[in-house]
Structure formats: C-alpha cells, structure tokens
Amino acid sequence: MKSRYVRMSCLALAFLYCGTSFAGTPFLPKKRGKSKSFDIENLSLGGGLSYTAYPGSGNSLGINLSGHYNLTDKNSLVIGGSYGLPTKITTTVYGNAYSSMTSPDQIEIPATFSYKFHSLYLQFERYFWTTNDDNFGFYGTLGAGLLLIPSGKATYGTYDQTNYYISGGTDAPGAGGFFIRGGLGVQFKLGSVIGFSELKLDIPATQVNGQDVEVSIPVGFGLNAGVRYPFGK
C-alpha cells in the first residue's frame, strides 16, 4: 500500500495550494471565474447524512455538517465534519494459553466490535459547465481530512477464561490518520435552500510533512447528501 500511495498527501496539498494561488492552473483558473470579495452573502451552512463503506472494516452512517464559501462563481471552499453512528463489525480474535502445558496453545474466539467513525475535512470544489449560482451545478472535489476511530466496545463469544486470555486487552482497538479525498457532486436549488449530493473516495495518506507515517485507517468510499442554507439568498 505504501508504494502505491507514496507522497499522495504532499502532492494533493500542493495541488490545492497552487490552484488557489496561480491563475494559470488548468483545474482552478482564476481568470475564468467571476471574482467575489469576502462577504457573508457567499457563505452557506448545511448538514445531512454521510454514508461511508470501509472494506474489511465495516460501514458507517453519520451526521454531516459543513460550511461552504464561494470563492468565485466556479470555485468554492468547504470545511466540514461528520459524526459517525455506532457500527458493528463481526470478526475473530485469538486467545492464547496461560500455560505452555495447555493444548491447544491458541484458540479462535468470535468477537463483535462496536466502532464510531468521525472525520474532519477541508475540500475544494470546482464547477464544470455550470456555476455555483446556477439552479443546477456539477462539480469535482479535492481535499484532505482526518479520520478518527476511538476505541470501541468489544463483545466476545464464550471461551475458557481460566486457561486462555485475549492478547492486546478486551477493548476494540482505535485508530486515526489523515486521508486524501476526491469526488464528484451535484447541487440543485430547492426554494430557499440548496440540495447537494456527492460521491467521495478517501485514500489514507502515507506521508505527513514529508515524513512516512504508518497507515492505520482503511480506504473509504461513500456518499454525502443534504441541504445548505445560503445567507445571500
């Protein structure tokens, strides 16, 4: 995995920086969009539901909140986060014998882990063929974020606790790490609010500030959907 995603976090963050700094960037051309000065009328706040599948680690349904600011009529910046509801993962763990005289020296024990997946993210949106002021808009996203998986509750099947113990403790282990996000989305006006729906792909970052980091979070893909209230309408 490390060789496959090496330096992705640095490249993506550099891409975001260059896109907002230089008019000549192909993905984020400043001169094509109509500039907008900083104004609360360019701000919208919203929320909705977030569903993310983590292959091998379960699925997460959560509540998503975000702030959306229109930099130009083609470019927007989003800061948000999601609070995951509890999700259960069924797996198998190993119990080790206290004594070398016990046979077998290791047994399999069924286990159910209960986790919550929480995330914070910053992403850039670029509108294609449309603008963020149109009744219908189509855009691509690129960003980065932090995934937090706190230690959860663990339930184990029946086993001989007199002769065997579970290594690593009895709590479901937690994890955390940075990810790079890409995706596609649509927005549409619904009276005084704006509806949106977007597909996302979160890939764990293998480097942070030029340093290799251990990947402890899974790849995730899913859907964010909800509504935003624009202050300028």
Per-residue pLDDT of 93-145, as tens digits, reads 888 989 888 888 888 889 888 888 999 999 999 999 999 889 999 999 999 99
Q: Tell me the average pLDDT across 82-87.
A: 90
To the question of pTM greater than 0.85 for the whole model, the response is no
The conformational region for residue 168 under phi > 0 = left, psi -120 to 50 = alpha, else beta, is left
Pick the range with the lowest mean pLDDT from 32-41, 59-68, 84-93, 125-134. 32-41
- As a whole number, mean pLDDT of residues 44-67 equals 91
Long-range contacts of 89-98 (CB under 8 A, 24+ apart): 89/57, 89/58, 89/113, 89/114, 89/115, 93/156, 93/166, 94/166, 94/167, 95/159, 95/164, 95/165, 95/166, 96/164, 96/165, 96/166, 96/167, 97/163, 97/164, 98/163, 98/164, 98/165
Measured between alpha carbons, how far apart are the two ends of the chain, in Å? 46
Longest CA pairwise span in the chain (Å): 77
Question: What's residue 64's pLDDT?
Answer: 95
Q: Does the domain at residues 2-27+48-85+117-148+173-215+223-230 carry the CATH identifier 2.40.160.20?
A: yes
pLDDT of residue 233: 63
Q: What's the angle, vertex CA 139, arms to CA 138 and CA 141, rounded to 5?
A: 155
* pLDDT score of 153: 81
CA distance 62 to 48: 9
* Residue 154 pLDDT class (50, 70, 90 cuts): confident
Whole-number mean pLDDT of the chain? 81
Nearest in space to 204 (alpha carbons), one of 158, 123, 129, 145: 145
Domain spans of the chain, in order of start: 2-27+48-85+117-148+173-215+223-230
